[in-house]
Structure 1
């Protein structure tokens, strides 16, 4: 049956609902029982049996798993044949291993399309990747290939929290169970080596433990902090011995510019990134940030930026969490995530579209020094705003100058104070009211209270006359003074 409905930008259109109904009708023919089938939603991914009405709800609410392209549980079989399309020879995206190869191949644009040599493909790498995509797990296997089993097992490892040693033992057991001529990797190291060509990588940036600055640019070769004098290396607190080579703190930065450029090299993703240009609400109802006042203000202030719908509008979110899964507050790790608002409303907040850019280590939170760690990200965002980067658009098959703007930050109130540098506590604790904030010091509680909320009521509101309900005073009908 037709599978195009899976990739529709909205799950609220009739075409998507009709596709779900046809899928369930076909699934009933191949169900082991007449009551339940495997749920192929993005959450369960064919790992749990559910009733048909529950599967329907999950597919509408959570969406269909895009990696489930060959419906082996609905009667389809794996097909290793591929077809060429023009001189580039693109392959059908039959399974998740083909999708990974397709995305990798799309990151290299043929020279004849762009007119430059910077995107030349490496034939040897393509041949090696193609061999892994096409090689079955063992002779006669129609379910898994060498690459797809690696992707499946690595996903299993990360989802269930297995250690490297645990997965090594599992690989050994599976290797003994399979035929002798199987292509299953023997170790986790072999799996990572196989997946390395698809990795975008990240930068390790050394940091001072006191959050003073980063070891980069002119400070790259220093061993001590020029501000506080602390060591770059781990120091024994008892013997004060310096362990040369053991870093005290490491910031991990995932560069955003290569990832933005890679998004536009996928035809489907490049088309989704201009969705907002044709879907602005006409009934004054807000369904997407494109309908917001902030979006219109950007269009008015920078018309050159708004003239190209491919330019990105981003949001930045950050907060601390304990990665060790307990309630202790002794360790606080801060991820910094970018949200892409160019995408359709049901896609921009999906976890696969949230872009992790920085991983700020603990054990203590960066506080007001978070700007030190944001430095590499801010530099890339400034480049994207001021000059832009040359990018290939696979949808229109043309080069363009990609720019981006940071629209919003998303955080709780304490993190808002750290990011924006505003006062979020004390006498002037409201960054919106500023000097007009109504605060009072509680002598015995030794803290500030904010009791000025009655000033926002209408002048004749009865609450303005209540004394005991509030601070023991009436609120003046005009102005912010109490009587």
Structure 2
């Protein structure tokens, strides 16, 4: 079999097709389709016996062990066996061929068994994969599911990180203080714990989760944001209010903004929402599979949707584009909790 895919980029189509072909070969030659040796870098065909579904995930997340050149654990004869067979007599070859025929009958039975148990995996495998951009995220999730320390069953690394970071945000803890707290917690926990050693490591992990944010200076009176053409302004062009915070002596504290907007970019969150190619496939349902008649069954049947298509045809022509709806339910414009008025 062609094994050049083992050296290809995990994000390439070549690697994807190679994984599919390898799994088919492994399942066809497996005595138990639920216990197949995993050739990923982490398992190395020794430490793991899994189903084809699990092995597929491992090959995408961990990569394949490129040193595994002879697939002897998956039904391929070793080079020594092949060389010995080539030197046998014609009679022996005939016997081997007869044996191969018998083996093929067994493989046919196994293939029939595999087809009934795992057919859905290969038919829908492409829909169930994760997008190639999600490798870092999936590695993070796998790493985050580790126990907080050896033997811990109640808390994971990711859970502890989120809990401590929430505490930092709630009490306005400085980055230095947070780093010192992580170090102290790490000292109290048993050896081998997974607590990050600094604020930088913790923030890097959260950024991979798609929970990163941006701080944008704002006018204290909510007139403008100090971005774009106003990025270098020191006062609001609308109300004249200073950008910087005033101290007790009414002296501006340069570099300390009077008001800050915490902006959470939506695009990283959309990527997390549509990690699976099966989920992302549903994004185009309204264009490819929706029943189109005079009845309203989907927002795409509404006049507003069609108006967007007319005003921005380039946007509307690509069904993969996301359309966001703003909901103001419960918004109280008069800032009065006793008011019954609600939008």
Give the TM bin, normalised by the shorter chain: 0.3 to 0.5
Structure label with greater radius of gyration: 2
| TM-score, normalised by the number of residues in structure 1 | 0.34
Q: Which has the higher strand share?
A: 1
Q: Which has the higher helix share?
A: 2
